[in-house]
Amino acid sequence: MTDPISDMLTRIRNAKMRKHPNVYLPYSRIKVEIARILYDEGFITSYKALGETGMDEIKIGLKYGDEEASVITELKRVSTPGRRVYVGCDDIPYVKRGLGIVILSTSKGLMTGRRSRSEKLGGEVLCTVW
């Protein structure tokens, strides 16, 4: 697999379309950090590293709202292995006029666009969620 972040987003997208309560992913630290951001922003209900060593896979609980509609409307990968997208702190995009979030990889770790703007950091735009 050449792009594990894209694989993670696709698995979440497919699970929400089938209305699965949970989705399981292969473990990596960056995926846990993305799941932490999604949890902190209220897009998922839970995340946990599972396995005998505690690091074999990640279980993500998907969140559904009224009439079993998913809280996540769309996940979109911005920066890919073939086309990296970097922005400065003044050029961080707004997603749906602030209704969604952008996840950036900065020198201080993964963070949302809002937090990155407040800390005056730019970085690589990984994905957008709304």
Whole-number pLDDT of residue 54: 67
| Burial (CB count <10 Å: 0-12, 13-18, 19+), residue 1 | exposed
For residue range 33-53, what is the model confidence (pLDDT) as tens digits? Answer: 999 999 999 999 999 998 777
Average pLDDT over residues 72-94: 95
pTM summary value: 0.93
Which CATH number is 8's domain given? 3.30.1370.30
Query: Quick check: helix, strand or coil at residue 95?
Result: coil
Q: How many domains does the chain have?
A: 2
Same domain, residue pair 63 and 90: no
Range of the domain at 11: 4-68
Whole-number pLDDT of residue 101: 96
